Amino acid sequence: MSEVIALIPARGGSKGVPRKNLQPLSGKPLLVHSIETALGCPEIRRVLVSTDDPEIAEAARKAGAEAPFLRPADLSGDTVPDWPVFEHALHWIQKETGNLPELVVHLRPTHPVREIPVIRQAIGRMRRHPEADALRSVSVAAQTPYKMWRSAGEFLEPLLTLPGIPEPYSQPRQRLPMVYWQNGYVDVIRSRTLLEKRSMTGQKILSLVVERPWVEIDDWESFAEAERCLKERDRILAGETPAPAPVRHPS
């Protein structure tokens, strides 16, 4: 069976919340929540943290992950996209082991509220669809982009048009396509997509619709929301609260 690794990118710099990845959440550093999720997933063989920060690397190792290298400074700025960080990590793995994993599970440390069965479902979906380049978790979008506008000088113009439906911004929402928001819960990418297509997604992207509570840690207020969601998740896992609807994918 193909090897699966988890890669958790966790740089030291953060503007909104200083040292964000090391800030405590429910009694442990923020980063550790993603590490523990990955370690609890039996399909994942290795859990790697890519960081430029020695203190984060040490915290990762204490939590049971590998932090075998420090990411170079030119890959650690706040405007650096995901792809070069993943390329760097895969090149390191290939150099050290002579092999590449089939699948890379991308777990952002800023999304600490997860359930292991959802991660396993994402991996299983990729394994059942070898033609897929990647998978992204999504949620049904609260707003439709077909009713959004952009500035055109003194006037507005619609952000999107829709063939066969004139003025979609004036149509009932029920006539418009269902749209989804990528929520950062989990991504799964094939190594060949990252290295051969030089992309985080490729063209054939599977979805996993996750309507579970999820929080992106971006400011101090989101820490409080994450604390609440973690307690709710633990009550569900303990059987004290009914579970939410199953994770699904669009038909």
Q: Which pLDDT value is given to residue 183?
A: 94
Domain end (from 156, 178, 200): 178
**Has residue 119 been placed in a domain?**
yes
**Has residue 248 been placed in a domain?**
no
The structure tokens listed for 4 are: 């699966």
Q: Which pLDDT value is given to residue 1?
A: 45
Domain limits for position 47: 4-139+181-237
What are the pLDDT digits (tens) for 136-152?
Answer: 999 999 999 999 999 99
What are the pLDDT digits (tens) for 100-129?
Answer: 999 999 999 999 999 999 999 999 999 999
**Has residue 246 been placed in a domain?**
no
- Long-range contacts of residues 64-69, Cβ cutoff 8 Å, at least 24 apart: 64/35, 64/36, 64/39, 65/8, 65/35, 65/38, 65/39, 68/92, 68/96
User: Is there a single domain that holds both residue 199 and residue 101?
Assistant: yes
User: Is there a single domain that holds both residue 186 and residue 174?
Assistant: no
User: Is there a single domain that holds both residue 154 and residue 185?
Assistant: no
pTM of the model: 0.90
User: Is there a single domain that holds both residue 190 and residue 79?
Assistant: yes
CB 74 within 8 A of CB 90: no
What are the pLDDT digits (tens) for 178-189?
Answer: 999 999 999 999
Phi, psi of 65 (to 5 degrees): -90, 170
**Has residue 250 been placed in a domain?**
no
CB 152 within 8 A of CB 194: no
User: Is there a single domain that holds both residue 66 and residue 154?
Assistant: no
Alpha-carbon torsion (218, 224, 229, 231), positive or negative: positive
Q: How many structural domains comprise the chain?
A: 2
User: Is there a single domain that holds both residue 73 and residue 173?
Assistant: no
